Chain A
Amino acid sequence: MTLLILLACSPAPNATRADPIRLTLAGSSTVQPVAEIAGQAFEALHPGAHVDVQGGGSSVGISSARSGLADIGTVSRGLKPDEADLTATTIGLDGIALIVHAENPMTAISREQVVSIYTGAATSWSSFGGADHAITVVNKEAGRSTLELFEGFFGLKDKILPSAVVIGPNGQAITIVAGNPYAIAYVSIGSAAVAEEQGTPIHRLSLDGIAATVENVGNASYPLMRPLNLVTKGAPTGLAKAFVDFVRSPEGQAIVAKEDFVPVGSALAAR
């Protein structure tokens, strides 16, 4: 009985989608901290507005923006040709870095070394001058743009061995590496930098001689870079537009910078 009453009282299906005060974002774990913190700031500026942020990965960002399940999809890559029905607004730049435990003596890695580790050709840290201990390889689950970009850049599509551990969001990779002196993973530079600032025992490896820093992403010297995008079906309108504009405003971009991403507005953002 109670069920029926509750059902009768519910609004029509999907009425919430066009809600002028509720905004739903879903997608990339890399963009998630920015989305959440910007969401809270946005709510403070627009009393009555609700900003809900879900994760799931960049492919969720694309599919939920398309299906209407989310008003804005968050994606940590550029749009693909078959995604021309969507509009992307770039809000920052990020890179992908290899990370290891703070105690790992390795500080630099080359492209060949990455390939040998992730294809299973090298299985012990002794191959790189470290202790003779098995390397715990951490890989991302499918559907994450970080995986796609990593595979694409290193030519590893379908060649990554069944790894020791498969994780989803950046935070999970960082947690595993922080707890395992023999682990290696690849994550967003921004999330790694923030974690290091908070004392998480990891450090980033420089790639082919270029340090994996936010500055190097900003001046385009770090090779493995990607844009951070807010994706909407068509140009953003209404509350979604207000939010996108907010994130691109100086206040929003300050949040982007605080999360250790490169703010838009430098010449490179035009890419």
Chain B
Amino acid sequence: MTPAGRDRLAGVLLGVAPVAALMLVALVVVGVGLDGAPEVHAAFLTEAPTQAGRSGGIAPMLAATAWVLVIGIGTALPPGLAAAVYLAEFAQGGTRMVRVALDVLAALPSVVYGLFGMAFFCELLGFGWSVLAGGLTVAIMILPLFVRLCEAALVAVPADYRAAGAALGLPRWRLLGRVLLPAASPSIAAALVLASGRVLAESAVFLFTAGASTRTPHGLLEPGRVLAVHIYQLAVEVPGGGARAAATALVLLVGIVATTSGAALLPQLLLRRTAA
């Protein structure tokens, strides 16, 4: 066979992969949508589950998810950004240990985070099953991702900005506050959104730390059932719960697609506004 013939064959055979990926996305959407779409309506989103989950809505789960999201992102943002700034701008070498530690954090399975969160936040610190425990635990989980993305955002700021700053005699920290961070902010915003997507997708962590109560959490120390955990409970423990599980999955997927696309589009949108 000629090289061109081999290439054509390879192109077709290998091409199965990306095509299959597209089909898989369609399968997921259709699979979840077929069962779930009929169940999703305004009442589903605003009511609490009744009859022990067999009917009613998912309002408390949306609330619980919002709680852990805000706590998680809010807790991870300051230290994460600070660490990223340090690594990108001020560290002199000797960062190897920090990077290895971040890699280790990123590799830990979610059930290990769940156990740690339970032993540390729920029991040792006495928070009990609570959205606070869940939020703090997930904050540790998303820290490596967030630090890596923020650091990349800072490093990606064009060299001209730094050169201009040097030419103006700006001290490092001034350069940072006035020039670099604002320039990197669209990417940092995207990092936040991406980290949010991670939080939404987690389940094992919250099962161990935030509990599975179907009540709406009204305070930091109250338990709550996040959407992902609710999907699990409905699918496995509530007979006939498959349709509502799919409906919940649909809502969750919409949220995640919004965050993934948001993360991709945000830099473009924001850059256009801050462009010189």
Contacts and interface: CB of A to CB of B under 8 A. Distances in A.
A–B direct contact (CB < 8 Å): yes
B239 A10 contact: no
A171 B215 contact: no
Interface string A28-42: 010011001100100
Interface in B198-218: 211-215, 218
Nearest to B242: A175
A2 B237 contact: no
Contacts of B74: 2
Interface stretch (B39-47, B107-115, B219-227): B219-227
Interface residues of B, number: 35
A10 B75 contact: no
Contacts of A172: 236-237
B240 A13 contact: no
Interface string A155-180: 00000000000001101101100100
A73 to B, nearest CB: 15
B126 A13 contact: yes
B54 interface: yes
3 nearest A-B pairs in the assembled complex, by CB-CB distance: A13-B126, A33-B52, A171-B237
Contacts of A6: 71, 75, 132, 136, 220
Contact of A36 (B79, B214, B237): B214
B239 to A, nearest CB: 4
A50 B239 contact: no
B274 interface: no
A270 B54 CA distance: 32
Interface stretch (A121-129, A195-203, A205-213, A232-240): A195-203
Interface string A222-261: 0000000000000000000000000000000000000000
Given A36-B52, A54-B211, A169-B237, A12 B223 contact: no
A202 B240 CA distance: 11
A53 interface: yes
Contacts of A37: 50-52
A16 interface: yes
A171 B75 contact: no
Given A3-B75, A37-B51, A37-B52, 18 more contacts: A1-B79, A3-B139, A6-B75, A10-B126, A10-B132, A14-B126, A16-B221, A36-B214, A51-B215, A52-B211, A53-B213, A54-B213, A172-B236, A174-B239, A175-B236, A175-B241, A178-B239, A202-B239
B240 A198 contact: yes
B174 to A, nearest CB: 22
Given A1-B78, A10-B221, A171 B211 contact: no
B238 interface: yes
Contacts of A171: 236-239, 241
B237 A12 contact: no
A2 B75 contact: yes
B83 to A, nearest CB: 12
